[in-house]
Amino acid sequence: MIRSFFKIAAISIALILPASAIAQGVVGGMERGAREGERAAGPIGGAVGGAVGAVTGGVAGILGIDQRPRFRQYVVEQHHPSFHYRESVRVGAVLPKAGVTYYDVPAEYGAPNYRYTVVNDQTVLVDPRTRRVVQIID
């Protein structure tokens, strides 16, 4: 049973990774998924978490590492004011409805479904439907 599972997982990973290699955040998603899966369910959970994390890693890393400095420079040049937020600015935090101004991400960065803002002098990408921080641009 376990051998069959590992075979299926290995085949799935072999098929999924090349197709998703162009997705941003694959490596980070895979590492995070494997770490969380192993913590929850041991080695099998790590294998499954790594495969799932590789596929969904793009959500955690919307802007790739090579795009971040250029995007950060773009934001600095825009001179948007920073919103003061009393809570910790972290991925997953939900920003308040009032007081925060969200800006469109230019098409060249490939994140049309997200907006950005500046919170506590940090540039963050936000899901505009939920106001949830999805990436901190460092």
Q: What is the pTM of this model?
A: 0.57
SS3 105: coil
Which among 123, 101, 103, 128 is positioned nearest to 113, based on CA atoms? 128
Question: What number is the average pLDDT over the span 60-74?
Answer: 87
Query: For 54-58, 74-78, 92-96, 118-122, which range has the lowest pLDDT when averaged over its residues?
Result: 54-58
Q: What is the residue extent of each domain of the chain?
A: 2-60, 68-137
Segment 31-62, tens digit of pLDDT: 656 666 666 667 776 566 555 555 444 444 78
Task: Please check whether the domain covering 68-137 is classified as CATH 3.40.50.720.
Answer: no
H and E: helices and strands count for the chain = 3, 4
